[in-house]
A and B are shown apart, each in its own frame.
Chain A
């Protein structure tokens, strides 16, 4: 893990997100999701590397890039003393493509009154206000940083519906950071899993879901040969949960220690690992995936997945010492 006394290190990261898709950025708290988003926005200093957003350098062309971004943070970025009507007066001049009519429509749709004070709004309503701002200037890339934490299930469903509508025209993309992985199961097309400042996986969601298997077995029933295949392991007094690559399933079974248990059939329970399982088993001392040509390569903390060429978000950077 690239952590130091000064703080946190984010190693080489590359993500490609084609237009018209939603990418879920997942990872445990402190993994580097917010750091990555803040690096994209040039809100925290990077020590090395470069960041390309929508094909442009995020510092050299900061103003143009930010004009194309819509951002929703986990906390409201507007002064709590302001009224809702002030939000448009303050934000609209930044964006040449600001659409007042669309903003008014969103306010109406979300039940936001112009005369309401922002600090009096609930967390869900504050998130909707940020969303209304982000959606009202035709942002090509919408970045959401943990927008659903603290929201009830109805608000989360509503947000997902809005995101699906937003990308439907194929001109917009969404980068959606969350640690509530259930949100992504229905809407995400791509998944980037960040762990300890490195990209562990980036690629289509279906591939992510097909790539990992959860293996459950009796306590200590793992041979040395099997251990080398484990991406993560959690042992209990009564058994263990382990994570392997799906393609290693057969090899894993064949490598079982015959002395430990005579019965091979039913010795292990195997099932497709969901997002939470992958995070749970890889968060402590992750074993990164080996470099395999047909798989999304992760080598020495560098990940790359090029699913489709075209307008995309690409991030390459090195960052240390930023805050989490």
Chain B
């Protein structure tokens, strides 16, 4: 566990040009905290709050891509030698990197919960704490869904980065994204009542929150484990 934490801290430190681990945490925490302050002090309305939440989500996904590129861009060059000489086994380096990268979706989820709760509690500078608490369950669920979305995104991307160079991995992600859109368009051509189908799906998931959460959690764990396994196999076979 110490080795995994050490590897994660190394990645955190690497993010800062001066080797300061707290920089990434400061970056992650700054946006939600400043937004909350704005909501409380300036009294932003629902629309502005929604924009801020959108900005948080977008910037966090941008940060995830930036972190991925930063972690792997020089991985195959002389700077990759650092990972060969550091006294941390490769399997622990992988777990540390997953831990480090998953900090961002965690920050995104928590930031979302904090910002939306604050926005609900201080809607138009009118304190409505009990109203916000009533909505807390759905806010937390949405935050957790955002966290899961970020984790799945990273879990899908990371094995590509361990298997390929950073440039190749980015190209593949782009190709897969385009492929997904094309696939979606093709599926949409199937003569089916899509709105009814989607309503059925939504009804199934909204009927029982705990069942939905359990299914989501199980899927997340499976995706995460498979992702780690593929990354591990790729990294163990990789020549640095």
Q: Is the CB of B81 within 8 A of A64?
A: no
Asked if B79 contacts A78 (CB within 8 A), the reply is yes
Shortest CB distance A266–B (Å)? 52
Which residues, 88 to 144 on B, are CB-close (under 8 Å) to A?
Answer: 88-90
Do residues B240 and A83 form an inter-chain contact, with CB atoms below 8 A?
Answer: no
Q: How many residues of B contact A (CB 8 A)?
A: 29
A43-B239, A85-B19, A90-B19 known; A69-B85 Cβ under 8 A: yes
Max chain B Cβ within 10 angstroms of own Cβ: one of A76, A82, A83, A90? A90
Dominant secondary structure at the A interface: mixed
Are B87 and A44 in contact, CB atoms less than 8 angstroms apart?
Answer: no
Task: Determine the chain B residues whose CB is within 8 A of the CB of A83 once the complex forms.
Answer: 17-19
A79/B240 contact (C-beta < 8 A), A43-B84, A94-B6, A94-B86 known: no
Partner of B81, one of A43, A62, A323: A43
CA distance A220 to B19 in the complex (A): 65
Q: Is the CB of B13 within 8 A of A90?
A: yes
User: Is B14 in the interface zone, CB < 8 Å from A?
Assistant: yes
Pair B10/A93 contact, Cβ less than 8 Å: yes
Q: Is B228 an interface residue (CB 8 A)?
A: no
CA distance A77 to B17 in the complex (A): 14
CB < 8 Å neighbour of A76 from B6, B79, B239: B79
Are B84 and A82 in contact, CB atoms less than 8 angstroms apart?
no
Which A residues, 245 to 286, have Cβ-Cβ distances below 8 Å to chain B? none
Please pick, from A41, A63, A71, A93, the residue contacting B89 in the complex, using a CB distance under 8 A.
A63
A73 to B88 Cα, complex, angstroms? 18
Residue of B82, B90, B240 touching A78 (CB-CB under 8 A): B82
Query: What is the CA–CA distance of A85 and B90 in the complex, to the nearest angstrom?
Result: 26
Asked if B16 and A77 sit within 8 Å, CB to CB, the answer is no
Q: Are B79 and A63 in contact (CB under 8 A)?
A: no
Instruction: Chain B residues near A77: list those with CB within 8 A.
Output: 78-82, 85
A66-B3 contact, Cβ under 8 Å, with A38-B240, A89-B19: no
B237: interface (CB < 8 Å)? yes
B87 engages A89 (CB within 8 Å): no
B74 at the interface (CB under 8 A from A): yes
Contact A62 B89 (CB under 8 A): yes
CA distance A64 to B14 in the complex (A): 23
Distance in Å from the Cβ of B170 to the closest Cβ of chain A? Answer: 19
Q: Please determine whether B239 and A93 come into contact, CB atoms closer than 8 angstroms.
A: no
Instruction: Tell me which residues across on chain A come within 8 A of B232, comparing CB atoms.
Output: none
Number of chain A residues whose Cβ lies closer than 8 Å to a Cβ of chain B: 37
Check A66–B81 contact: CB distance below 8 A: no
Judge whether B240 and A85 touch: CB under 8 Å: no
B 208-240 binary contact with A (CB < 8 Å = 1; else 0) = 000000000000000000000000000011011
B79 lies within 8 A of A79 (CB): yes
Instruction: Verify A45–B237 contact, CB threshold 8 A.
Output: yes
Collect the chain A residues with CB atoms within 8 Å of residue B85's CB: 41, 66, 69, 71, 77
A86 is an interface residue with CB less than 8 A from chain B: yes
- Among residues of B, the one whose C-beta sits closest to the C-beta of A71 is B85
Q: Answer yes or no: A322 CB below 8 A from chain B CBs.
A: yes
Q: Report yes or no: A85 in contact with B18, Cβ–Cβ below 8 A.
A: yes
Cβ–Cβ < 8 Å partners of A66 in chain B = 85-87
Which chain A positions have C-beta within 8 A of B17? 79, 81-83, 86, 117
Interface residue? A50 (CB, 8 A):
no
Distance (whole angstroms) from the CB of B73 to the closest CB of chain A: 9
Residues of chain B within 8 A (CB-CB) of A204 are none
Which residue of A43, A69, A83 has the most chain B CB atoms within 10 A of its CB atom?
A: A43
Is A100 on the interface with B (CB-CB < 8 A)? no
Bound: A45/B84 CA distance, A: 12
Known: A38-B240, A41-B84, A90-B10. 18 other contacts (CB 8 A): A42-B90, A45-B237, A62-B89, A67-B87, A71-B85, A77-B81, A77-B82, A77-B85, A80-B79, A81-B17, A82-B18, A82-B19, A83-B19, A85-B18, A86-B17, A89-B21, A90-B13, A94-B88
17 cross-chain CB contacts under 8 A = A41-B85, A43-B239, A43-B240, A64-B87, A71-B85, A73-B81, A76-B78, A79-B14, A79-B74, A80-B79, A82-B18, A83-B17, A89-B18, A93-B9, A94-B6, A117-B17, A322-B239
Closest 7 CB pairs of A and B: A86-B19, A89-B19, A75-B78, A43-B84, A66-B87, A77-B81, A43-B240
The interface of chain A, by Cβ under 8 A from chain B, is 38, 41-45, 62-67, 69, 71, 73-83, 85-90, 93-95, 117, 322-323
